Amino acid sequence: MLLVIDVGNTNIVFGVYKNKQLIHDWRISSDKTKSSDEYGLLFQQILSYSEITPEMIDDVIISSVVPNLMHTLPNTVVKYFHKKPIVVEAGIKTGLNILYDNPKEVGADRIVNAVGALEKYGGPLIIIDVGTAITFCVVNDKRQYLGGLILPGIGISADALFMRTSKLPKIEIVEPEKVVAKTTVTSMQSGLYFGFSTMIDGIIEKILEERHKSREEVKVVATGGFAPMLLSRSKYDIIIDRFLTLDGLRIIYEMNQ
């Protein structure tokens, strides 16, 4: 069994693969203040509900965009699973040719998503991760990582409206029925939903124009917690892949064996 752990700014998503099959997956809050012991006991408790013991885990791979936890979680794995984890960082085999000016700047999550999407769907690709931040990655059919975009996510924007204005309340992010709303709360919900969903479509269009590609020539794959909601009305045929990052971690693990 392989334990894969993806550490994001808001959530830690992890799962267990038996051979190539994802048999369990979980999501917990990212907490920079937790110690390696606290995470160790939490992982053990969650795994135990699925009747998995640390001794049943053969190996572990971790990717993270949270520097504070890149010391904590490997220590957790060593102490509680008695394994030295593989960490997605500079020097690991990915099969990608990263054409960033400084390849070390590319976030581990973006690399993992690109590897997973190439393996599962083939290139050329636009990969969208709709999480705390929204990232776009562009990969061609030669396994070249061409670059992308990073922008604030819908949750960050909702929080900013609440914290930086005097009268606007904290709201639940939902898909509204209409664009033109008649209350403050629904106006905020409409602005966030249609603003972000339209912006995502617009960025896809700009990427296709810049790459001189038609929508039929490029696959668009999306993952992340808000992807199903924000992309439900897209004018593009977008593949929603909830487990793209976990699958990418498994694939990178296999490449490095």
109 catalytically annotated: yes
Both tokens assigned to 157: 């924007």
Residue 69 parent element (H or E): helix 69-81
Q: Give me the amino acid identity at 220.
A: V
Lateral strand order in the sheet of 59-64: 21-29, 11-18, 2-7, 59-64, 86-87
Using DSSP, state whether 129 is helix, strand or coil.
Answer: strand
Using DSSP, state whether 38 is helix, strand or coil.
Answer: helix
Rounded Cα distance, 127 and 173, in Å: 23
Residue 170 · residue 185 · CB < 8 Å: no
Q: Given the residues 6, 59, 109, 241, select the one marked as catalytic.
A: 109
Q: Is 107 exposed, middle or buried (0-12, 13-18, 19+ CB in 10 A)?
A: middle
Q: At what angle are helices 108-121 and 244-255 packed, to 10 degrees?
A: 90
Both tokens assigned to 78: 């060593």
Indicate if the alpha-carbon torsion angle 158, 160, 161, 162 is positive or negative: positive
Rounded Cα distance, 213 and 193, in Å: 27
Instruction: Give catalytic residues, as residue numbers.
Output: 109
